Amino acid sequence: MTDMDEPGQVPPSSLFLSTTALPQRDRLPVWREVFGQTMVRLDIEPVKGVSFHAEGKLHTLPGAAFASVATTPVKVSRTQQLIAGDEANMAFLVTADVPLHVAQNGRERVLNAGDAVFLRGNERSVIQSRDRARFINISVPVDDLTPLLTKGRDLSMAVVNRQSDLLDLLLGYVRLLNAGQEPHSDELDRLAVGHIRDLMAAMIGADPGAGSAGGVRAARLRAVKTDIGEHLCEPGLSIDAVALRHGISPRYVRKLFHEEQTTFSDFVLALRLERSRHLLLGADPALVTIASVAYACGFNDLSYFNRTFRRRYDVTPSDLRNGSRQGAGRPNDDWLGNPWLRRR
């Protein structure tokens, strides 16, 4: 917590805060100061007569942020003072596992558990929960979201039903990103921000001509591909396991890849070969065996690895590791006859 108090300090991409270890008298002041004022720019007021406790995680990306917070009953406000001290004009999507009373710009809504609502960061708002709740708050800059929307579409107080496939997909995708233990690459962060923004726009009426995600199917496929990258070298990676994590059928996953003129298996194989190529290019021949690289990248059959690697790159793994670069940067365009792989 002290790092956040240093002037000019850049906050880490992921922050966790809990009041569990704090004395009761310090819980609310610390939470207000660190999480409410510094991290999410919200004022927190507990329900009278209830002992306050909260814990939450905030994850920031270059162009998006999401927080998951569990708390006792509270009233959360975006005040004029907080708005004035916040340079960024954000669009917030808020949902919780209990009913919420939400107000902004003279309008009020009572949300059922699981419903979500959009709020504008530059307008005063109030969210109240009468029960213990787990909130999820996802935000992107308004200026990034507005060009994707139908002209004149108002963000403020737009409600998304809990049964929405798009909401389910967005929350599942955010949970997947939030669960990652290793830092993400800049490229993955940019992709993730684009996916979050496109899904949020689709939920409230994306303009078909604005170049957004292209619908649920495109967003599903991107989320599946990201999941594959996260679990690429695990022995248990399979179309059934991926489908289960995303709450869809293996048949639907196959159809998504078929629409890109490839297959789940070809996509996984291409990623594994590319990862093994990078490992071999940086390997010390005296220390790293071909078998260890193959197994580290998810291959269980060394002969199959050697055969497919040579077909892909026109060089054997041994030659590449030992210094030959012939073909290493030019994948064979006819490999598997796969148009998607030729586009990579």
Domain that residue 39 falls in: 2-162
pLDDT in tens, 189-219: 777 888 888 888 888 765 444 444 445 677 6
CATH number of the domain residue 129 falls in = 2.60.120.10
Residue that finishes a domain, picked among 138, 162, 186:
162
DSSP per-residue codes, 196-264: HHHHHHHHT-B-TTS----SHHHHHHHHHHHHHHHTTT-TT--HHHHHHHHTS-HHHHHHHHHTTT--H
At residue 340 the predicted structure's pLDDT band, cuts being 50, 70 and 90, is: very low
- Predicted local confidence at residue 17, as pLDDT: 86
Q: Is residue 314 part of a domain?
A: yes
pLDDT in tens, 12-54: 477 888 999 899 898 988 888 887 776 678 888 898 888 999 9
Instruction: Give the count of domains, the chain.
Output: 2
Distance, CA of 148 to CA of 198 (rounded, Å):
8
pLDDT: which is higher, 259 or 12? 259
Residue with tokens 């055969």: 307
Assess whether pLDDT exceeds 50 at residue 336.
no
Closest CA to 276 of 297, 291, 295, 290: 297
- Predicted local confidence at residue 309, as pLDDT: 92
Q: How far, CA to CA in Å, does 163 sit from each of 113, 151, 168, 242? A: 11, 26, 7, 22
Assess whether pLDDT exceeds 60 at residue 333.
no
Percentage of residues of the chain with pLDDT beyond 70: 81
Q: Is residue 241 part of a domain?
A: no
Q: Which two tokens stand for residue 302?
A: 């060394």
Q: Is residue 80 part of a domain?
A: yes
Residue that finishes a domain, picked among 105, 136, 162:
162
At residue 236 the predicted structure's pLDDT band, cuts being 50, 70 and 90, is: confident
pLDDT: which is higher, 107 or 1? 107
Least confident of 133-142, 308-317, 330-339: 330-339
pTM for the full model? Answer: 0.60
CATH number of the domain residue 316 falls in = 1.10.10.60
Are residues 154 and 9 part of one domain?
Answer: yes
What is the signed CA dihedral for 6, 7, 12, 13, rounded to 10 degrees?
A: 150
Least confident of 174-178, 246-250, 255-259, 311-315: 246-250
> Collapsing DSSP states into helix, strand and coil, what is residue 3?
helix
Strand pairing class (133-141; 107-111)? unpaired
Length of the chain in terms of residues written: 344
pLDDT in tens, 126-177: 999 999 999 999 999 988 887 777 766 778 888 999 988 889 888 988 888 8
* Other beta carbons within 10 Å of 28: 19
pLDDT in tens, 65-104: 998 999 999 999 988 888 887 777 888 999 999 999 999 9
Assess whether pLDDT exceeds 70 at residue 307.
yes
Q: Is residue 305 part of a domain?
A: yes
Q: Compute φ and ψ for 34, nearest 5 degrees.
A: -85, -55
Q: Which two tokens stand for residue 82?
A: 């907080």
- Predicted local confidence at residue 201, as pLDDT: 84
- Predicted local confidence at residue 324, as pLDDT: 60
Are residues 154 and 35 part of one domain?
Answer: yes
Residue that finishes a domain, picked among 162, 185, 219:
162
